Chains A and B, each alone.
Chain A
Amino acid sequence: MIPYILQYLHSDVTPGEAGNVFWMVVYVLLTFAGVSIGVIFMNWFERKVMAHMQVRLGPMRVGPHGLLQPIADALKLIIKEDLTPASADKLVFWFAPVCVVMTAFCTFIVVPFGRTHAITDMNIGVVFMVGVSSLGVLGVIMAGWASNSQYPLLGSLRSGAQMVSYEIAMCMAVVSAVMMTSMSGEGTLSMIRIVEAQLHQHVWYAFEFFPVGLTALGVFSIAMIAETNRAPFDLPEAESELVAGFHTEYSGFRWSLFFLAEYAGMMAVSAVAVTLWLGGWLRPFPNWLGGARWDTVFSLAPGLTFLLLAALCVIYTVRMAALRVMRANAIGLAAFGAVLGLVGLVCLLPAVRVRVQDIYWFVVKVGFFMYLYVWYRSTFPRYRFDQLMKVGWKVLLPISIAVVVLTALVGVRDELFAMVWR
């Protein structure tokens, strides 16, 4: 048993490729726990950022600067009564949130947080991600239909139409990135090999064939917002028109499952965008600031980030008003800062930092996309449904098809010139 566990540590492949069941389970638990913590953090972060963009304070009461607000919310949701409408289709009503959460979390099986930091590497990685996340719409439709009520039904109809039509543009953009992998050797659909192809070609696919890759990323990053039903494309849950859309009849824990799935799905599509176009776990500026010395400098980044966060915590502890009611908050924030500082120091150790930097860069890039989600939500007004369909079918789809054709043409340009000038 022990040798079986230790044997994996000497290999440099994912546990799925090594076929090591123990580490597979460990990685699954770690990934799912990480995603859940990410969702909890996003809940706080989104409310805080949106509040500051609208010149408010946001959650301030529970814990220092509202840091414990998501935990309080989760407790409230678990305690809240879980209603099932009398005329609902009980089985489908029960299964809908399960289906949504299952599909949202399943996609993380192939997400590569690093060369060895993925649960497994599949030959069909991208197809698997797109396919499984497209099954999420089934849960939304089931929820809307099983509620046996008008608003949820309309919400799920909208979401079905929206997700099906934006999926096409999204997949076309993915095809263009997959075609770029064949520029160095054999093309591939596997998430890890796509990042390795970017490493070998010394370019992130966002900057490959200059405007082409960037356009594909643009199309994808618009379509992925529609695919995850977020503002400005959040018509399935448009509050002013449909109360809460497809999850109007859900409450308590089952509603929180929809919430969890929405944010996990956002992270999953952001992870696809990062893997395909922004070099996955690769550090920024590999050509401009290349070489072993810069590698060392960039590998210090995770530790320094944690130390910076710890310093912020210390500053806010000092600045906190010296009142008796604030004492618990001040102690809590100081303790949080101490923990962050310890993590930062551990991340600076040479043995740790070479393993942690992959995960760090991947998470930072995904975090950037998550920030964009919040930014869009507080910036853009919601689309009307016909406008949404027009954007999907008449703008994004033609652009994405053109991107695929252009990628193919630019990819074989040498052969084309050879044919013309022969």
Chain B
Amino acid sequence: MTPVATPFFFYLISGIAIVSALVMITKVNPVHSALALIVTLLASAGLYLMLYAPFMAGVQIVLYAGGILVMFLFVMMLVNIEHLYVEKKWNRQSLLALLGALSLSGLVITALVRGAHTLPQHTIALEESTNTQGIGRLLYSATEGYYVFAFEVASVLLLVAVVGAVVMAKRRV
């Protein structure tokens, strides 16, 4: 079977992701921004598929594109759009932004140049057909890693966000 993960598809999907991310931050209308963000998320699900990680792609679609963004849109539909056109879209912190961008690109370039020695040369080719089972084993199997505790601790973070949202919503009543 010929592999689907050809450079053509990589550049296509990455291009879609980058363009829709740019559309997302430049659009004034928040609903348009959210729709562009959905395209970005779906494109990154495609990137997961190219890495032979179908389970991650599925979760990306279910959780982000299907769940969280629906809630986003749900709230945004009720926002009054007219006053958003009056508000300033870009703030004036260009010096700080330049500093941030430079340091980030410096980090990436350093990683690319120096990383050849420290990082592994090739990634482990995970078999696509056993990807889901592999994740399950990493989570629950006592012999192959027992990440379920770390996983649950991370999910407490989300619980904190839920509690915070409830507290903030309660205060106004």
A132 and B61 contact, Cβ closer than 8 Å, known pairs A123-B55, A137-B70? yes
Q: How far is the CB of B161 from chain A (nearest CB, A)?
A: 17
CB–CB A187/B61 < 8 A:
no
**In the complex, what distance in Å separates the CA atom of A35 from the CA atom of B156?**
43
Contacts of A142 in B (CB 8 A): 35, 73
Q: How far is the CA of A164 from the CA of B77 in the complex (A)?
A: 16
B54 and A124 contact, CB distance less than 8 A:
yes
Tell whether, in the assembled complex, residue A123 and residue B128 are in contact, meaning their CB atoms are under 8 Å apart. yes
Give the distance to chain A from B36, nearest Cβ to Cβ, in Å. Answer: 11
Interface flags, B31-50, vs A, CB<8A=1, else 0: 11001001000000000000
Closest residue of chain B to A156 (Cβ to Cβ) is B77
Is A160 within 8 A of B1, CB to CB?
no
Whether A161 lies near B69 (C-beta < 8 A) is no
Q: A157 interface residue, CB < 8 Å from B? A: yes
**Binding stretch for chain A, among B10-18, B110-118, B129-137:** B129-137
Q: Tell me what chain B mostly uses at the interface: helix, strand, loop, or mixed.
A: helix
Q: Does B24 sit within 8 A of A, measured CB to CB?
A: no
Chain B: how many interface residues by the 8 Å CB criterion?
30
Residue of B with least CB distance to A137: B70
Contact A124:B70 (CB < 8 A) given known A130-B62, A186-B133, A187-B133: no
List of B residues within 8 angstroms of A157 by Cβ: 74, 77-78
State whether A92 touches B31 (Cβ < 8 A).
Answer: yes
Question: A249 CA to B128 CA in the complex, in Å?
Answer: 44
B1 (CB) vs chain A CBs: closest residue: A19
The reply to whether B73 and A145 contact each other, CB–CB distance below 8 Å, is: yes
Interface centre among A142, A153, A163 (most CB of B within 10 A): A142
Which chain A residue shows the least CB distance to B73? A141
Contact pick for A127, options B2, B58, B77, B136, CB 8 Å:
B58
**Interfacial residues of chain A within 76-124, with CB under 8 A of chain B in the complex:** 89, 92, 122-124
In whole angstroms, what is the CA distance A141 to B58 when docked? 22
**Bound Cα distance from A134 to B59, whole angstroms:** 12
B-chain residues with CB within 8 Å of residue A141 when the two chains form the complex: 70, 73-74, 77
| Residues of chain A with a CB closer than 8 A to B65's CB | 131, 135, 138
The answer to whether B73 touches A135, judged by C-beta atoms less than 8 angstroms apart, is no
B66 contacts partner chain A, Cβ-Cβ < 8 Å: yes
Residue of chain A at shortest CB distance from B58: A127
| CB closest residue in chain B, given A168 | B67
Chain A residues lying within 8 Å of B136, measured Cβ to Cβ, are 187
B153 within 8 A of A: no
- Chain A residue at minimal CB-CB distance from B59: A127
Interface string of A152-171 (1 = CB under 8 A from B): 01001100110110010000
Q: Are A123 and B70 closer than 8 Å at their CB atoms?
A: no
- Check if A145 sits within 8 Å of B59, measured CB to CB: no
Contact (Cβ within 8 A) B62 A92: no
Q: When the two chains form their complex, are residues A127 and B62 in contact, meaning their CB atoms are under 8 A apart?
A: yes
Closest CB in chain B relative to A199 CB, distance in Å: 19
Contact A92 B35 (CB under 8 A): yes
Select A135's contact among B32, B55, B66, B74, beta carbons within 8 Å: B66
What residue of chain B has the Cβ atom nearest to residue A164's Cβ? B70
Given contacts A127-B59, A164-B71, contact A137 B66 (CB under 8 A): yes
CA distance A144 to B58 in the complex (A): 27
Distance, CA A132 to CA B60, complexed state (A): 11
Residue of B38, B66, B132 near A124 (CB, 8 A) is B132
A residues within 8 A CB of B133? 186-188
Docked pose: A137 CA to B67 CA in angstroms? 10
Q: Chain B residues with Cβ under 8 A from A145's Cβ? A: 31, 73, 77
A128 in the interface (beta carbon within 8 A): yes
A161 to B2, CA, bound (A): 42
Q: Chain A 401-416, CB within 8 Å of chain B: the 1/0 string?
A: 0000000000000000
Q: Would A131 and B61 be within 8 Å (CB), given that A141-B73, A145-B77, A160-B70 are in contact?
A: yes
Say how far A391's CB is from chain B's closest CB, in angstroms.
Answer: 20
B131 A138 Cβ-Cβ under 8 A: no
Q: Are B58 and A124 in contact (CB under 8 A)?
A: yes
In the complex the two chains form, what is the Cα distance from A160 to B67 in whole Å? 10
Going nearest first, the 4 A-B pairs with the smallest beta carbon separation are A134-B66, A127-B58, A19-B1, A131-B61
Q: A130-B62, A141-B73, A141-B77 are in contact. List 20 more A-B contacts (CB 8 A).
A: A19-B1, A92-B32, A92-B35, A123-B54, A123-B129, A124-B54, A124-B132, A134-B61, A134-B67, A135-B61, A138-B69, A138-B70, A138-B73, A141-B74, A142-B73, A157-B74, A157-B78, A164-B70, A164-B74, A189-B132
Report 21 cross-chain contacts, Cβ distance below 8 Å, ordered by A residue.
Answer: A123-B54, A123-B55, A123-B130, A123-B131, A124-B131, A124-B132, A127-B62, A130-B62, A131-B65, A134-B62, A138-B38, A138-B69, A138-B73, A141-B74, A145-B77, A153-B77, A157-B77, A163-B70, A164-B74, A167-B66, A186-B133
Give residues in B with beta carbon < 8 Å to A. Answer: 1-2, 31-32, 35, 38, 54-55, 57-59, 61-62, 65-67, 69-71, 73-74, 77-78, 128-133, 136
| Residue positions of A touching B, CB distance < 8 A | 17-19, 89, 92, 122-124, 127-128, 130-132, 134-135, 137-138, 141-142, 144-145, 153, 156-157, 160-161, 163-164, 167, 186-189
